[in-house]
């Protein structure tokens, strides 16, 4: 693919690219935006450096990709219920997103993507890892692909955000809230065709998948654990180092992510806007 209106620098062979030559606070031409969409589809997650955005500009850029999903469970930016805070204070031990997952797989129409903007970052650490589940699916054997294409999987918000999880939440209390709203359950095919690219994707994740439909959790666990280890092989991943003003947009259908919790004693504040998606098949 060629790019005439933006610069695209891949971060790894399988996933991730930095986009240059763009000021997201300024008017973005249709040609440049079309190339951003193209890069988003090709690389799964795209990154922008040195951006200076107001909350309204952040939301406005996200709305170019689709309607906004207002997060139920995160604390939000005052006056902006569509912007979730991803925050860790110096005295806090737990971070948000500290395990492999994809956002909103528990919804009947999972989120298209998440757009995360760095307001304050630690002096070292605080990177985010991303994994391509396009690459993970493509690397499976033909026999396992055939088995998985006959399966669906159960996803839920209850065990992560619900009342039963409150006792395990620790100092996430206040940053994660509204446990009574964690009532989402969904069943999705284990292998989906991406609604935009048509490519096949392995659609399970360690954060929100409970088991295969018609299987017990115990029966499901060995195969799911194999898929989780397979999907996070180093060659399927990239690592992004945040700087103040960095923005990442990832595709929740074709990627997983993991926020590294290695900056104790320092503050990290990012703002997340989630973009609505469509039902999967």
Q: DSSP character for 174?
A: T
- For 38, the 3-state DSSP assignment is helix
In this structure, the dihedral spanned by the alpha carbons of residues 265, 70, 114 and 50, taken in order and rounded to 10 degrees, is -60
Q: Which position among 87, 154, 257, 271 bears the catalytic label?
A: 257
What's the token pair of residue 115? Answer: 């757009």
Q: Which position among 104, 253, 271, 272 bears the catalytic label?
A: 272
Q: Which position among 58, 72, 87, 103 bears the catalytic label?
A: 103
| Nearest in space to 257 (alpha carbons), one of 83, 153, 111, 93 | 111
Q: Examine the residue annotation and report whether 194 is marked as an active-site residue of this protein.
A: no
| Nearest in space to 250 (alpha carbons), one of 52, 40, 10, 48 | 40
Q: Which position among 101, 175, 253, 271 bears the catalytic label?
A: 101
Q: Where are the alpha helices (DSSP H) in the chain?
A: 30-43, 55-63, 133-138, 142-148, 158-161, 217-231
- For 69, the 3-state DSSP assignment is strand
Q: Examine the residue annotation and report whether 58 is marked as an active-site residue of this protein.
A: no
Q: Where are the alpha helices (DSSP H) in 181-270?
A: 217-231
Q: Examine the residue annotation and report whether 257 is marked as an active-site residue of this protein.
A: yes
Q: Examine the residue annotation and report whether 221 is marked as an active-site residue of this protein.
A: no
Q: Which residues are catalytic?
A: 101, 103, 257, 272
């Amino acid at each position: 693919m060629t790019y005439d209106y933006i610069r695209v620098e891949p971060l790894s062979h399988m996933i991730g690219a930095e986009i240059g030559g763009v000021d997201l606070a300024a008017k973005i031409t249709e040609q440049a935006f079309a190339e951003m969409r193209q890069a988003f589809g090709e690389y799964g997650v795209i990154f922008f450096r040195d951006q200076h955005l107001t909350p309204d500009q952040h939301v406005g850029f996200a709305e170019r990709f689709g309607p906004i999903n207002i997060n139920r469970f995160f604390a939000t930016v005052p006056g902006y219920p569509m912007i979730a805070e991803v925050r860790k204070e110096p005295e806090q031990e737990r971070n948000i997103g500290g395990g492999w997952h994809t956002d909103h797989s528990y919804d009947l129409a999972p989120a298209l993507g998440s757009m995360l903007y760095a307001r304050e970052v630690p002096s070292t650490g605080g990177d985010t890892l991303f994994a391509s589940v396009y690459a993970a699916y493509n690397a499976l054997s033909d026999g396992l692909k055939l088995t998985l294409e006959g399966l669906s999987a159960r996803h839920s918000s209850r065990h992560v955000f619900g009342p039963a999880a409150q006792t395990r939440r620790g100092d996430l209390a206040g940053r994660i809230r509204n446990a009574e709203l964690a009532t989402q359950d969904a069943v999705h095919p284990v292998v989906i065709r991406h609604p935009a690219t048509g490519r096949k994707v392995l659609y399970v994740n360690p954060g929100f998948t409970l088991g295969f439909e018609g299987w017990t959790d115990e029966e499901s666990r060995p195969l799911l654990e194999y898929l989780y280890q397979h999907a996070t092989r180093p060659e399927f991943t990239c690592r992004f180092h945040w700087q103040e003003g960095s923005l990442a947009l990832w595709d929740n259908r074709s990627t997983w992510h993991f926020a590294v919790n290695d900056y104790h004693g320092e503050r990290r504040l990012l703002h997340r806007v989630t973009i609505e998606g469509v039902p999967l098949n």
